[in-house]
Amino acid sequence: MTRGIDNDFNRFKQIVRGKVRENLKKYITHGEMLGRQGRSIVSIPVSNIDIPHFRHGKKGSGGAGQGDGEIGQSIGQGDADGEGTGQAGSEPGERHFREVEVSLAELAEMLGRELELPRIEPRGKNRLSTQKDKYNTIRRRGPESLRHLKRTYKRALKRMISAGVYDPENPVVIPERDDRLYRGANSIVQPETNAAIVYVMDVSGSMTDEQKSIVRTEAFWIDTWLRSQYDGVEIRYVIHDAIAKAVDEDTFYHTKESGGTRISSAYRVVRDILNDEFPSDDWNIYVFQFSDGDNWGEDNRLCLEILEGDLLPVCNAFCYGQVESPYGSGEFLKELRTIQAKYDNLILSEIENKDAIYGSIKQFLGKGK
């Protein structure tokens, strides 16, 4: 018998996927749940539909809290839920929550299912292979640590029955030397697939913390997904303003410069990294660039040159995510659009705000490249 809740759930899914009730589309929220993975925080996309109610705005709002802290100390971003007391209003029933943990592999799987991401077909060029031992045969001899207990006893039982010494009233099975069976290994050659990801971010003054936090969330999900698709994943980070440099992850997210913006400088650094470390015959290469779209006008021509000449031919996908910023002009996206038709591995996405992360990940990874 179908349960009512399954009908409700299916109906909800249909609405979220836009199959019915199109007018509700603007109320669909792509929220996130925050979970812990070891020590880091992860976010899981959760859709819901907002039923509009009369509510207070943020201006003039506040609440009561509990804990340490000086007066004037910030306790959270303004875009958090304004209902400070955590009063869910007439939340039905009385229930009781606690948190537990989750693994990255599960996360990736859920993400894939949620966004309906295609599995990635690694490029045919790759020649790397590894030998792996798989214990999938049975041998008569072997080390005791590999003894197959179940088979050994089955064999002993068979022998005892055929010899007529087995007594069902007193079912004792005693294996002899000859009964012992061992697991054996076969070596199999498996192609290994590796991916190199290069993240490029504009750290000029026009990128604010909010833009960076969007980049961070998005990069986390891209990592998680690509890691689930390849055996080995190497990640490099490049930041740039008017000049570019390769940095480690921490610096990547925490650097703030005030200079101008020259995107070609970053493309040069990416080109060098790819040439030196990741020959495209052996690696599946992904470049993700995040910027607010500001660039020095005369630099655009040079960018396209490097992009078309050196980067696009070797990348599985070159993804450009333009984060909307109050200061950025967003010009660079238009430049890229002029050549987009020529390359199907050039993927462009505009990320207006946190809610758009969800769609943008789907754009980047939805092609199965």
Partner 1 sequence: MFITMRRSLPREIQAAQDKMERHARDYGLDFFETIFEVLDYDELSMFAAYGGFPVRYPHWRFGAEYDELMKGYAYGLQKIYEMVINTDPCYAYLLASNSMMDQKLVIAHVYGHCDFFKNNAWFAPTNRKMLDEMANHATRVSRYIDRFGYETVERFIDACLSVEDLIDPHAPHIRRDQPHPRPVVDPLELAEDDDDGATRFQSKQYMDTYINPPDVLAAEREQRDLKQKAKDRARSFPESPQRDVLRFLLEYAPLSPWQHDVLSIVRDEAYYFAPQGQTKIMNEGWASYWHSKIMTRHGLTDAELIDYADHHSGTMATSPGRLNPYKLGIELLKDIEDRWNKGKFGPEYDACTDARERAHWNRDLGLGRQKIFEVRKVHNDITFIDSFLTPEFCVDQKLFRFEYNEVHNAYEIASREFPAIKRQLLDSLTNHGRPFIHVIDGNHRNRGELLLQHLFEGIELRQDYARDVLENLVRLWGRPVHIRTLSDDKPLTLSFDGHAHESVVG
Give residues 3-22 in contact with partner 1 (rule: CB under 8 A): 3-5, 7-13, 15, 20-21
Instruction: For residues 93 and 360, give the distance between their C-alpha atoms in angstroms, rounded to a whole number.
Output: 37
Quick one: 66 or 258, whose CB is closer to partner 1? 66
Q: What is the helix (H) or strand (E) element at residue 276, kind and residue range?
A: helix 263-277
Q: At what angle do helices 357-365 and 209-229 cross, to 10 degrees?
A: 40
SS3 325: coil
Instruction: For residues 354 and 334, give the distance between their C-alpha atoms in angstroms, rounded to a whole number.
Output: 22
Residues 6 or more apart from 343 whose CB is under 8 A from it?
308, 312, 318
Q: How far is the CB of 17 from partner 1 (least distance, A)?
A: 12
Q: Does 55 bind partner 1 (CB under 8 A)?
A: yes
Q: Does 72 bind partner 1 (CB under 8 A)?
A: yes
Q: Does 105 bind partner 1 (CB under 8 A)?
A: no
Contact (CB, 8 A) for 190 and 130: yes
Q: Does 49 bind partner 1 (CB under 8 A)?
A: yes
- Count of residues of this chain found to bind partner 1 when the rule CB under 8 A is applied: 78
Residues 6 or more apart from 352 whose CB is under 8 A from it?
324
Q: How far is the CB of 99 from partner 1 (least distance, A)?
A: 6
Q: Does 51 bind partner 1 (CB under 8 A)?
A: yes
Residue from 103, 109, 101 nearest 228 by CA: 109
Sign of the torsion formed by the C-alpha atoms of 49, 319, 335 and 333: positive
- Selected binder of partner 1 within 19, 38, 40, 57 (CB under 8 A): 57
Q: How far is the CB of 231 from partner 1 (least distance, A)?
A: 25
Q: β-strands 194-202, 232-240: how paired?
A: parallel
Quick one: 25 or 158, whose CB is closer to partner 1? 25
Quick one: 96 or 342, whose CB is closer to partner 1? 96
Quick one: 21 or 254, whose CB is closer to partner 1? 21
- Selected binder of partner 1 within 19, 40, 66, 171 (CB under 8 A): 66
In the chain the first and final C-alpha atoms are separated, in Å, by 42
Stretch that binds partner 1, among 51-59, 150-158, 274-282, 356-364 (CB under 8 A): 51-59
Q: Does 44 bind partner 1 (CB under 8 A)?
A: yes
Quick one: 41 or 165, whose CB is closer to partner 1? 41
Q: Which long-range contacts (CB under 8 A, 24 or more apart) does 82-85 make?
A: 82/55, 82/56, 82/57, 82/58
Q: Does 64 bind partner 1 (CB under 8 A)?
A: yes
Q: Does 38 bind partner 1 (CB under 8 A)?
A: no
Quick one: 68 or 276, whose CB is closer to partner 1? 68
Q: How far is the CB of 54 from partner 1 (least distance, A)?
A: 5
Q: How far is the CB of 355 from partner 1 (least distance, A)?
A: 14
Quick one: 8 or 344, whose CB is closer to partner 1? 8
Q: Does 60 bind partner 1 (CB under 8 A)?
A: yes
> Taking CB under 8 A as the criterion, which residues in 84-103 touch partner 1?
84-102
Contact (CB, 8 A) for 366 and 117: yes
Q: Does 127 bind partner 1 (CB under 8 A)?
A: no
**84: number of Cβ within 10 Å:** 14
Query: What does residue 324 show for φ and ψ, rounded to 5 degrees?
Result: -75, 130
Alpha-carbon distances of 18 from 24, 69, 115, 241, 335, rounded to whole Å: 8, 45, 14, 40, 32
